[in-house]
Amino acid sequence: MKFQLHKTDSQSAARAGEIFTDHGTILTPIFMPVGTVGSVKGVYHRDLKDDIGAQIILGNTYHLYLRPGLDILKAAGGLHHFTSWDRPILTDSGGYQVFSLSPIRKITEEGCIFRSHIDGSKHTFTPENNVDVQRIIGADIIMALDECCPGDADYKYAEKSLRLTQRWLERCVARFDSTEPLYGYSQTFFPIIQGCVYPDLRRQAAEHAVSLGREGYAIGGLAVGEPTEKMYEMLEVLGPILPPDKPRYLMGVGTPQNILEAIARGVDMFDCVMPTRNGRNGMLFTWEGTINIRNAKWADDFSEIDPQGKSFVDHAYSKAYLRHLAIAGEMLAAEIASQHNLAFYLDLVAKAREHIMAGDFAQWKEAAVKKLETRL
C-alpha cells in the first residue's frame, strides 16, 4: 500500500490524498461503509459501487472468524472472492467486539479468551493468531489486536491497558512481518493508537506506533463514552506526531459533524455503522440537517429526500412515500434509508476533499457543520 498526499488546507490540518492498493485506489478523506459479516446491511454491492460510490468497505475479524469461519473463507480464496467484492477491504481485529459483545472474557498477557455470542463456544485471540486470521480473511488493510479502553477509564487503568496493547502490537508486527499474504496480493498492517483521554498516554502510544514504521496508523478508543471535545483534543495531540506521509484512520466515528471536525484535525479515513443503523430506524442525514422520516410532518411532503444530495434515491422517492414505507414496516424503507445515508456520507467526504483542494475547506466546514446540526 502507498499513500500520496495531494494537498493540506492552509487554515486547518485537513488533508486530501490517495491510497493505492492492489484492489484499487482510494481518494481521501474517505468514509468506509461497515460490512461486519461480509455485507453492508440491506445494500447490494452493485448499489455500493454504482450509486453510493464506496471505494472501500470493512469486514470484522471477530464476526467472520465465528461465522462463516476460516475454513470456508480460505476455501473461497478470501473475503473478496467469497463476497464478490473486487475493491479494497479493511478488517478490524475484532478486539472491540471481544470486549463489548462477549458475555465471558478474560484478558491475559498471552491474549484474550472469550466465548462466542452465537453459541457460547470458547476461543482465544492472541496477537499472533489474530494476524493469521486476518491473513486468511485476506483484507487489504488489517488492524492490530488491542484492548479497547473505555472512554471513562481512570488513568491507572488506561496506562495499564495501553502497556498491554503496546506489547501486543510488537507481537502483531513480528508475526505480520514473518508471514506472507495467501492470495497473491499485498496486505498492509496498521497499529491502533490507544491511551484513552490522557494526552501523555496518547503521545506515548503514537510515538511507539510510529517507531515501528508502518504504512498507516489507526486511532482507537474514541467515541466510546468520552465527551466529544475530548475526542477532538486527542486528535490535536496526535496530529504533530503522526507522519504526514501516512494515512490516519479514526475508528468508529461518527456523526457527519464529527467527521468534518476530525478531517479538520488531519484524519483521512473513517467508518461507522451510523448511516445504516440510523437509516433502519428512520433517521436520514441531509445537507439541511437530520430527518426522522417517521414523523407525521412528512406524511404529505412530496419533495425529494435531499434535493442537494447525490444519492439516486433522492430523485426517485419522496419523503411522503418513504414515511409510508417506514410506518407500514416495509423492508424497502430500511433499504432506501440505508442507501441514502451511505450516499450522503460518501458525498460528505467527497465535498470535503473538493474544498481542501480548492483551498476553502475551513470556511466551508464551519457553514456545513451548522446546517448538519439542525433537526428538521
Please identify every residue annotated as catalytic.
92, 271
Q: Which residue has the cell 476533499?
A: 353
> What gap in Å lies between CA 3 and CA 353, rounded to an integer?
15
Beta bridge partners of 32: 271
Please state, in angstroms and as integers, the Cα–Cα distance from residue 18 to each residue in 5, 90, 165, following that order.
7, 16, 29
SS3 at position 3: strand
DSSP single-letter state for residue 314:
G
Nearest 5°: phi and psi at 164? -65, -45
Burial zone of 296 (CB within 10 Å; 0-12 exposed, 13-18 middle, 19+ buried): exposed
Q: Is the N-terminal amide bond of 254 cis, ω within 30° of 0?
A: yes
**Virtual CA dihedral for 119, 123, 129, 130, nearest 10 degrees?**
60
Please state, in angstroms and as integers, the Cα–Cα distance from residue 211 to each residue in 72, 166, 322, 341, following that order.
36, 12, 51, 38
Beta bridge partners of 16: 7
**Virtual CA dihedral for 289, 295, 297, 299, nearest 10 degrees?**
120
CB–CB of 217/249 below 8 Å?
yes
3-state SS of 171-235 is HHHHHHHCCCCCCCCCCEEECEECCCCCHHHHHHHHHHHHHCCCCCEEECCCCCCCCHHHHHHHH
CB–CB of 287/350 below 8 Å?
no
Nearest 5°: phi and psi at 204? -60, -40
